[in-house]
Structure 1
């Protein structure tokens, strides 16, 4: 696997530094490049507001009462003309008011402005000037309205301060600010990157142990919620993998035992046949019966392995059909005729005649068969196996009950695992291969059937599954 690439620490640090650079560039652009346009636009809007207020005051006949604070606060001078006659003037600029010194700028300056304003009646005239004798650029905004068929013209004049000196000062300051921010941001970015990457680095180290099947570690908690959730998930996966590894080792040991024992027996009795019993018909039959039994066990083991592989497949085909429960159960029980005769097993069947379910008769029949076989292997001293079928919460529940020794509660979750045996020092003296309950579990999961077991030590166990009623 190719593990080349940038480390998380470097990636986070670079990302944070790029963000810092982007913010600094944005500040440079906004404070240096756009300062003058922003100021001029803001000043124009202020003067425009004054012009609108003057127009409204004129219409309300409140020019003198309301305009003094407005004009002084906004540092403007104002003239109002009816046709070509000035009817109102107020000045907060003094000698800097162009409306008051217009003849010094050019003859007919005011008349020309008024003329231009009236050409665009209903809108606004916005002009800037650099008149001789004035230290600052000047802004004039004019508005014209028709009242009683008379032209009423409003002119507002305000100086525009130069921003060049401000820009120079800001630029000089920003050089130092940029340098300081860049250094501090670099250190802060490194600290943040280290803090964020450290848990990941530790997890990678633990994951490498994980990959080498070393489970003597824990994914440690971190200050971050997402990393903690990941650590919990990985710890759970580790426990699951450890369980699977233990199961794998147990399965290898059990399969080896189940295969080696019959092979050893077959070999031994074959040698006996060759050396001693070939001339003794009775002994030869005994030895051949034992060989047949062991070969049959091997055949069952291979068959169960194939069944388990088939039922674990995602491509398993399920053929649902209506099944009469009582007839179906009686047929499955009839397959244990040999156990009934040789072991003295007594079956008690409690089934409602009218029960009909929708199942795959063959595959779910394997579940019932395995449950019954398990009950026979753990039957109590009464040699009774009880099979019940009844309606329960909209389902049909089928139970197989024995009165054997029962199962410890700690063991119950594990009995469905392959080759899991409650008695670790088992002897191969029971029917089955150790795969029956695992096969039953796979079939139930494939059919979405609820299944389980209730068990009490000293009283026995009840294995059950639930089917859809037709």
Structure 2
């Protein structure tokens, strides 16, 4: 509406300005022509010549033409009402003094009218006045028509804007409402909800981000449930064994001491197994919550590999597995000896455990660029291509029956991977079923320790 008012006022001013300029032009033309009808001797008008002259202007003006002499006596009136009469009109009085006057008036008889008066000069002397009176009603009618059209167009535009706003509001709020409902379900623990994506606007991008988050939450929730189930199973297995063994002992009446020792030895083994699982779980919690402190110190990696190998030799000798160490380079780097020792122990232990009796494990230490490489290769049972991507997941075991038989919990490789990542290193695995597995542990030589 404010725009309409501004447009209306602008159009009105333009129309009136054009009318004013047009009347001034015509009045000046008449003033110039009327000088031809003035006697040079007494500056009086030749009324006959003036009448003949004005006939051509009457049709053009579409209003009233008055010619007054210097005494304000009307010498020509196109309406023949004031001929030879003195007219005391303010415009005429001012123009006799040499002014050009344009004024708009309103009267009950003629309505809105524009009066224009210009002086008639001859030899720099005012000898009369041209006075034009033109109705403005047709101008205001035209302005009113334009105003009415503007109002109609404004209402039509407002209606269209309202409809378009409602449509756009629905387009915007509908996906937001759907997103809100899905998020509320997620907040209630109902993971996996997805939002249909249409277009590529900001809402769609938000939907894509939410779907990715929802998928990740579903995976995390599944991992959590699997983790709880696996932990429960892993803890239950040794506890069940200990309960059965202890019940068997309780039922013995004066049994052989050798049987008691055997049962107590089995209970002790299960306790050790249970303790290892709990220690591994606690380490995983520390790794996940970034609570694990890395104590860097300069370490001779060759010696560390030999030390790990010595700790696993009893199992290798028991299975008649040969462990070969190739040291191509002498390497000293900053690392946490205890944690890297644990990571390497888990990896080499698995290599020995899953290699058939009489096999071999080859450990090679060398430099490659700015990295120290520890390569552990065995000729054991290997891992299938389908199972290879999952070996670093918690509790994942390629051969569950064999793992449980040998005391595996499925946590060793997961812990090793995270320890190596904490050292800004990587671990890579290559394997072929029934042919063997090769693990590459790559540690940076110029490790940024912050020391």
Same fold (TM over 0.5): yes
Q: Deviations over 1:388-441 (max 9, x none)?
A: 222224211222222222222332222211112234566611243211111122
Select the structure of larger CA radius of gyration: 2
1:295, CA displacement in angstroms?
0.3
Which residue in the other structure is 1:283 paired with?
Answer: 259
Q: Secondary structure at the match of 2:404?
A: coil
By how many angstroms is 1:27 displaced?
A: 2.4
Aligned residue pair count: 365
Distance 2:403 2:291 in 1: 36
Alignment of 1:69-468 (within 5 A): 105-106=94-95, 109=98, 130=103, 168-211=144-187, 218-276=194-252, 279-423=255-399, 428-468=404-444
1:360 Cα deviation after fit: 2.1
For the residue of structure 2 that corresponds to 1:335, the secondary structure is helix
Q: TM-score, structure 2 length as denominator? A: 0.68
User: Aligned ranges for residues 24-103 of structure 1 at < 5 Å?
Assistant: 25=1, 27-33=3-9, 39=14
Contact 1:278 1:284 in 2 (8 A): no
Q: 1:188 Cα deviation (Å)?
A: 2.0
8 Å CA contact 1:350–1:387 kept in 2: the answer is yes
Q: SS of 1:336's equivalent?
A: helix
Alpha-carbon distance in 1 for matches of 2:266, 2:346: 24
Question: Which sits farther off after the overlay, 307-316 or 323-332?
Answer: 307-316
1:110-165 Cα shifts (integer Å, max 9, x gaps): 7xx9xxxxxxxxxxxxxx96499x96599x9xxxxxxxxxxxxxxxxxxxx99866
Structure 1 residues 422 and 208, CA, compared in 2 at 3 Å: closer, same or farther? Answer: farther
Pairwise CA distance, 1:201:
3.5
SS at match of 2:437: strand
Q: Distance in 2 between matches of 1:411 and 1:236?
A: 25
Q: Which runs of 5+ in 2 are unaligned?
A: 30-56, 71-91, 106-111, 119-135, 447-451
In 2, distance between residues paired with 1:278 and 1:324?
Answer: 56
RMSD: 4.1
Query: Structure 1 pair 28/250, CA: closer, same or farther in 2 (3 Å)?
Result: same
CA positional deviation for 1:355: 1.5
Q: 1:36 to 1:404 in 2, by over 3 A?
A: farther
Aligned 8 A contact 2:102 2:114 in 1: no
CA spacing shift, 1:137–1:438, aligned 2, 3 Å: farther
Q: 1:360 to 1:204 in 2, by over 3 A?
A: same
Query: Scaled by the length of structure 1, what TM-score is found?
Result: 0.65
SS in 2 for 1:433: coil
Which of 1 and 2 has higher RCO (CA within 8 Å, sep 6+)?
Answer: 1
In the alignment, is the contact (CA less than 8 A) between 1:326 and 1:352 conserved in 2? no
